[in-house]
Amino acid sequence: TVKGRTAIRVLNRFRELKKKPYWGNHFWSRGYCVDTVGLDSEMIRKYVKHQEQKERESENPRY
């Protein structure tokens, strides 16, 4: 897949990324964002922050 090949290329080029657990063992997030108009950098930051929070919650659920 495109995502798999891209992850391999990025991690081969920037080997230091493998040393830090930014994403656990996952390079790509399960979520996605689709928009065609009106998306500014602040909206993207908020979206990414929200996705990171959801990802952490799914990896460490509270019981």
pLDDT digits (tens, 9 = 90+) for 30-62: 666 666 677 788 888 888 788 777 777 777 766
Q: For residues 14 and 12, give the distance between their C-alpha atoms in angstroms, rounded to a whole number.
A: 6
Dihedral, CA of residue 12, residue 13, residue 14 and residue 16, to nearest 10? 50
Give the number of domains in the chain: 1
Q: What pLDDT is recorded for position 17? A: 79
Taking residues 2-17, report their average pLDDT.
83
pLDDT of residue 58: 73
- Dihedral in degrees, nearest 10, Cα atoms 43, 62, 24, 17: 50
For 50, the domain range is 2-59
